[in-house]
Amino acid sequence: MKLKQVSSIPDELLTIDAKSLHSLIPEPTLFHLPGKQQQPLFISVLLHGNETTGFLALQKLLIKFRDQKLPRALSFYFGNTEAANQGLRRLDHQPDYNRIWPNTELANSSETQTAQEIVNIMAKKKVFASIDVHNNTGLNPHYACITKLEPHFLQLANIYGRLVVYFTHPKGVQCGAFAEICPSVTLECGKPGQAHGVDHAFEYLNSCLHLSEFSNNPVPTQDIDVYHTVAQVKIKEGTHFSFNNQQSNLLLDKDLERMNFTEIPAGTQWGRVFDHSDIPVTAINESGMLVTDKFFSLTDNRLQLNINTMPSMLTLDERVIKQDCLCYLMEKIKL
Ligand SMILES: [Zn+2]
């Protein structure tokens, strides 16, 4: 489907819910609204159809400026409205809308073409900054993600909060594509459906809209904590694990989920191991090397951390752990 571009918004957009949005905007549509400063701020929401916080925050922003001129031009895009209609991340036949952007590893499709077209259009408009808004699962704090450790990126991320994650994988994400043409962030606004998540995202979008320029001074290091992923942790194939079944090979600690985005000291126990002489998890670094022994050891049948680290994405959902991984481990970056 061809990308549509429009320069006004229908009134219904201010009141509609994410489920009904598809009926109002059935085709891929890029909106451009004028503002006092001409270089537009770009916002994308609903790249994952069930992550509604960004949509609600953007709607709040549009309501606020309904009768006044925007401080800066604003362009925005509603990602997967079809999946939003079903309350799903994506539909079975669709690619992930946050893996389709320039530099993607996915095959060419109408979705990758639309994404490329959006980036081309925004590059021509000399986009000021880009914000892509998401939600996640599990107990995670709000944080911003960046793909470049440059002052303007750090500044844009720091407006959302002190917690920042630097990442270079996966490829084809919106944030990485826009990073080639302007300062760019992804917001992770906690679980969907939380009013304080919407308020926080709205305040952030509003602040960015009022930002007249980026400062060339570095962000004060005491105001920001930047982490990067150093390993992905999986349970070893064939290991029976559980959070409550005493009969399993690996009985994981029920408090694990609370460790997300908390600096956990060396020696912390993650679980107990039965009928097993080797470590029942694997840790793989970003270049695909096995680094299990750096992070974990087995002492008196206790699985424990060897070094201080900060986990993320820990969940108590055994299905997610089997399908995906147990967690990621992060390290603080010295700026
Ligand atoms: Zn998402």
Quote the ligand 1 centre to 267 CA distance (angstroms): 33
Q: What are phi and psi of 242, to 5 degrees?
A: -165, 165
Tell me the average pLDDT across 54-83: 97
Q: What is the DSSP letter of 100?
A: -
Quote the ligand 1 centre to 170 CA distance (angstroms): 13
Quote the ligand 1 centre to 133 CA distance (angstroms): 8
Spatial CA neighbour of 158 closest among 97, 221, 230, 106: 221
98-111, pLDDT tens digit by residue? 999 999 999 999 99
Quote the ligand 1 centre to 50 CA distance (angstroms): 8
140-182, pLDDT tens digit by residue? 899 999 999 999 999 999 999 999 999 988 889 999 999 999 9
| CA 133 to chain CA mean position, Å | 7
Quote the ligand 1 centre to 135 CA distance (angstroms): 6
Spatial CA neighbour of 56 closest among 187, 183, 195: 195
Quote the ligand 1 centre to 273 CA distance (angstroms): 34
Quote the ligand 1 centre to 116 CA distance (angstroms): 19
297-330, pLDDT tens digit by residue? 999 999 999 999 999 989 888 877 887 789 999 9
Spatial CA neighbour of 97 closest among 125, 128, 134: 134
pLDDT at 168: 86
Quote the ligand 1 centre to 155 CA distance (angstroms): 22
Quote the ligand 1 centre to 187 CA distance (angstroms): 9
Percent of the chain at pLDDT > 70 equals 99
Q: Are strands 184-188 and 129-134 parallel, antiparallel or unpaired?
A: parallel
Q: Which residues contact 133 (CB under 8 A, 6 or more apart)?
A: 43, 44, 45, 51, 53, 54, 55, 57, 58, 186, 187, 189, 201
CA distance 267 to 330: 17
pLDDT at 318: 86
* pLDDT of 277 higher than 80: no
Quote the ligand 1 centre to 47 CA distance (angstroms): 7
Kindly report the pTM of this predicted structure: 0.89
Tell me the average pLDDT across 238-259: 92
Supply the mean pLDDT for the chain: 94
Quote the ligand 1 centre to 223 CA distance (angstroms): 26
